[in-house]
Each structure stands twice: as C-alpha cells, then as structure tokens.
Amino acid sequence: MEQIKNDMKSNEDILNEFGKKIIEGCIDPALGNLLSLRKKENPPILFKEYTELFKKLDDNDFKILKKYLAESLGGLTFNILRVFEENEQFKISYDNDGHQINLLEISEDLKAEPIIENGWIQRFSKELNNETT
C-alpha cells in the first residue's frame, strides 16, 4: 500500500506564513526606512527635513519614535484586516495544495494577529527587535 504524502500545512503554519509576509513586506520596510533616514549622510531631498529632525533626537527619543511608528503600523494593519472581517464580500484566502483556505476562518481574530502579545510584529519583526537602532 502506498503511503499518502501529506503536504498540507497546519492552520498555525498558514497564519504564521501570512504574518511573516505582512511583517517582512510591510512593517519592517517602513521601520527600516525610518532607521535608514536617521543614518544617511546625504538623504534624498524629499526626506532631508525628516533626516535632520531624526538626527537631533537622542537615542531614547528615537526609540520612542520607533515604537510609535511600529504601533501605528500595527494599528493600520489591524484596520486593513478588519475590513476583511467586517465585509464578507472581500476575501483573504490561502491555496494549500489546491485547497482554498479562508484565513478569517482559521484565526480567532485575524485583525489582532499582528498586534497581540507575542503576535506577528513581536515574533517576526527584525527591525523592531533590533536593539542597536
């Protein structure tokens, strides 16, 4: 008898994969942009006023700004995901080996996944968890 290969991902794996994509593709680039603006010697003219301001902040104030931006981005992500939760005509699905899986159905509260304690931002953000910046 042939052994059946089961490549189906668990719901937790699917949510973690989606969360990593959100953090790596949206949250971290925005945080990284803030961090790079503080360090650049010759920023683009468009960002010059921000760069000058960020360079004036002491390390503690800059950490507060970084935390504020992370929380704002988390709030934005929460509100975008809430659109999907509150409007069933919009769908977020994952193709798992030919099976469509609705992410709203496999999460208790998808919109909160990024911001809850030990949520996506805390677990997957390289920029937020980088203490050298």
The answer to whether 28 touches 130, Cβ cutoff 8 Å, is no
Q: Give domain status of residue 4, yes or no.
A: no
The mean pLDDT value of the chain amounts to 87
Helix (H) or strand (E) holding 82: helix 59-86
81-99: per-residue pLDDT in tens? 999 999 999 999 999 888 8
Q: Give domain status of residue 19, yes or no.
A: yes
Q: pTM for the full model? A: 0.82
Phi, psi (deg, nearest 5) at residue 94: -125, 135
Q: Which of 5-14, 25-34, 83-92 has the lowest mean pLDDT?
A: 5-14
Half-sphere exposure of 27 (CA within 13 A, CB side): 32
Domain carrying residue 105: 11-124
Q: Give domain status of residue 1, yes or no.
A: no
Q: Give domain status of residue 3, yes or no.
A: no
Q: Per the structure block, which two tokens stand in for 56?
A: 């004036």
Q: Give domain status of residue 58, yes or no.
A: yes
Q: Give domain status of residue 55, yes or no.
A: yes
Q: Give domain status of residue 130, yes or no.
A: no
The answer to whether 92 touches 103, Cβ cutoff 8 Å, is yes
Per the structure, how many domains does the chain have?
Answer: 1
Q: Identify the pLDDT of residue 82.
A: 97
Q: Give domain status of residue 5, yes or no.
A: no
Q: How many Å is the maximal CA-CA distance in the chain?
A: 70
